[in-house]
Amino acid sequence: MAGALLAAFGGFAGFNLMLSAMPAYAVRSGAGPSGAGALTATLMAATLVVQPFTPWLFARLGRRHSLALSGALLGLPCLALPAASTLPTLSALAVVRGLGFGLFVVAGVTFTAELFPSGNRGRAIGWYGAVVGVAGVLGAPLGIALARREAYTLAFALAAGTAALVLVGSFGFPRAGAPARPAGPRSGRPRTLHGTWRSLRPMTGPLLVETASTTAYGVVFTFLPLTASAAPEALLATQASTVLSRLGAGWLIDRYGGRQVLVPAVLVTTLGTAACAADHEPALLLSGTALFGAGFGAVQSATLVLAMQAVGDRPGGLGVAGVAWNVAFDGGTGIGSLAGGPLLALGGPSALYPATAAVLAAFLLLDLRTARRPDSRNCGAVQDK
């Protein structure tokens, strides 16, 4: 567990630092807000591409080597960034970092969940998420501060250094390979696709909410540094409240169930997202981003636990849930980063953040509708009966 937490801190500290610093670096390079958003979207697209292949990679390389590879792919491109100034070059390096991040995030949640039985998984994921939040508390505001001082070389060096912690943390895992993937049907592609859909169907509602919540995350973390002078303080408030929320939500999920935590968490996230439009009202902005962090942290824990409960403890099931949840997380982040740029250019913050909040509210309603279906009620049944 110690190795997993050290790797989580290193990987996410560097990720949040770069996520906050790179938009300003892209704008300085002449890419504009849309180019800054496209750069983050490129990172997340590469992350999405590699994630479906991670169970295969884990089974062959094992936990230790898989995690070490992810750290190398995250850190090495940062060393080349000071020499990169054009959008195509930045995008190419973002692709490499995205591949590393895709390996890293699936490994983190899957390997951590495998260490605990389902009844204690909420708290385990809560602790993991809290470490991720602490990494964000340090990384995101630091990235903004360094970007505003144009200390990009230092920012990139720090990101490479934190990625090295992923390599160190990998030695906390055994040399043995990851659990084998579930034995699937081998009679042809149609049955494989059908089996995949059957595995994913119980998770549909939580995964839709996860996608919508991380769309808001992508919008807030990509564009708040460009729209609010109090962005460093606001993102610090977001990350601090996320840490506390992840810890508290883990306990509540194990006690009351993921579904009972998810609905109020989404409502709080929606309010916080809309409040980000108050970019010239520091007090309201800080309150809103604190709400956003509190709701967002609980949403992450609840959707992940619900997804894992949907597949049960069958061999490889946690790997399927981990991949699906991370695809939803990264896909949503990429959507928010890509779609937010044009919307910001057209309507400004007063259009961007309320529209994002409306999307999140709509996906909550869709999830509630999905949860009422008879074939979806087993999602979270372990804790939500």
3-state secondary structure 43-74: HHHHHHHHHHHHHHHHHHHHHHHHHHHHHHHH
CB-neighbour burial class of residue 91 (10 A; exposed 0-12, middle 13-18, buried 19+):
buried
Query: Residue holding tokens 């010239």?
Result: 280
Task: Let me know if residue 365 belongs to a domain.
Answer: yes
Whole-number pLDDT of residue 118:
63
**Contact between residue 377 and residue 257 where contact means Cβ atoms under 8 Å apart:** no
Q: Kindly give the confidence (pLDDT) of every residue in the chain, 385 residues in length, as a single tens digit, with 9 standing for 90 and above.
A: 677 788 889 999 999 899 888 888 888 877 777 777 788 888 888 988 888 888 888 888 887 888 899 999 999 999 998 888 788 888 999 999 999 999 998 887 777 766 666 666 677 777 787 888 788 778 888 998 898 888 999 999 999 999 999 988 888 766 655 554 443 333 334 434 445 556 667 678 888 999 999 999 999 988 898 888 888 889 888 888 988 888 888 888 888 888 889 999 999 999 999 999 998 888 999 999 999 999 999 999 899 888 888 776 555 666 777 788 888 887 898 889 888 888 998 989 999 999 999 999 998 888 777 666 544 444 444 444 3
For 367, residues 6+ apart whose C-beta sits below 8 A from its C-beta are 205, 206, 208, 209, 262
**Contact between residue 364 and residue 287 where contact means Cβ atoms under 8 Å apart:** no
Task: Let me know if residue 339 belongs to a domain.
Answer: yes
**CATH code of the domain in which 166 resides:** 1.20.1250.20
For 337, residues 6+ apart whose C-beta sits below 8 A from its C-beta are 37, 38, 40, 41, 44, 218, 219, 222
Of 299, 322, 212, nearest to 249 by C-alpha is 299
Task: Let me know if residue 271 belongs to a domain.
Answer: yes
pTM of the model: 0.73
**Contact between residue 293 and residue 241 where contact means Cβ atoms under 8 Å apart:** yes
**Contact between residue 74 and residue 97 where contact means Cβ atoms under 8 Å apart:** yes
Is 87 strand, coil or helix? helix
Q: How many C-beta atoms surround the C-beta of residue 153 within 10 A?
A: 11
Whole-number pLDDT of residue 372:
61
Is the four-CA dihedral 132, 337, 95, 154 of positive or negative sign? negative
Distance CA 231, CA 242 (A): 16
Whole-number pLDDT of residue 254:
82
**Contact between residue 209 and residue 363 where contact means Cβ atoms under 8 Å apart:** yes
Whole-number pLDDT of residue 341:
85
Q: Diameter of the chain by CA atoms? A: 61
The total of structural domains in the chain comes to: 1
Task: Let me know if residue 275 belongs to a domain.
Answer: yes
State how far Cα 281 lies from the chain centre: 28
Task: Let me know if residue 96 belongs to a domain.
Answer: yes
Output DSSP code: residue 116.
Answer: S
Whole-number pLDDT of residue 172:
73
Task: Let me know if residue 322 belongs to a domain.
Answer: yes
Q: What is the DSSP string of 175-198?
A: SSPPPPPP----S-HHHHHHHHHH
Whole-number pLDDT of residue 183:
38
Distance CA 34, CA 27 (A): 9
What element of type H or E holds 169? helix 152-170
Task: Let me know if residue 121 belongs to a domain.
Answer: yes
Tokens of 222: 């990509």
What are 313-358's pLDDT values in tens digits?
Answer: 555 666 777 788 888 887 898 889 888 888 998 989 999 999 999 9
Is 249 strand, coil or helix? helix
Task: Let me know if residue 35 belongs to a domain.
Answer: yes
Distance CA 346, CA 341 (A): 9
Q: Which domain, by its residues, includes 41?
A: 2-172+202-384
Output DSSP code: residue 377.
Answer: T
Q: What is the DSSP string of 311-365?
A: HTTSTTHHHHHHHHHHHHHHHHHHHHHHHHHHHHHHH-HHHHHHHHHHHHHHHHH
